[in-house]
Amino acid sequence: MALSAATLSGCSAGATSDWDAVDERRQAEVAAVEWLGADGDWDLRAPASQWSRSEPAAGVWERPSVERVGDVPGPAWRLAADEVRAAVDTGWRPAFVRCGPDAAMVDLVSTLDDGSSVTARVEAQTGTDVGWTVRVTAVALHHSDADPGPVRPGSGDVDLGCLDGAAAAITWSGTPALLNPMGGPALTDG
């Protein structure tokens, strides 16, 4: 799989036009995270695809991010467990897990070299109804974000037991942590 340098840098059209050197550095660092660029037949996008169906409005920005998707055989719980193990081995901390009979999702948190927060979500599913069985998204803070410190840090008490085998029902532990790839000021009371 060949990836262009322009794809992995923050030099994409659109909402990244307000990026500064901090965002470019964070984008490059997130794109260089070893477990995010795992070997295999992956589609890697940087910045990650947007979840919103509308164009960014004034005062809204695109955060540095990476998304990796792939079609890997195996049960969802095992695919998620493999990704989480690789993430934890590189210093990420689990903050949230949700498992079901055919899907698993885990949010993780870490910090970048500049001390700012970065979050990631591992999603795995059985089947290929959406064209992938594993999706990993990592999102760092934009230079305009007020850094809350480690975003919902994994406290170590997240029960990852549902990643030991197929869950018969939906179970979860912890607090979701993934930042949206789009950011902006929070609404305040007038």
The answer to pTM > 0.85 is no
Distance in angstroms (rounded) separating the CA atoms of residues 123 and 117:
20
pLDDT at residue number 166: 74
Distance in angstroms (rounded) separating the CA atoms of residues 173 and 99:
9
pLDDT at residue number 144: 81
143: closest CA among 121, 116, 120? 116
Listed as ranges, residues in the chain with pLDDT below 50 are 1-15, 51-55, 186-190
pLDDT at residue number 71: 84
Distance in angstroms (rounded) separating the CA atoms of residues 98 and 57:
32
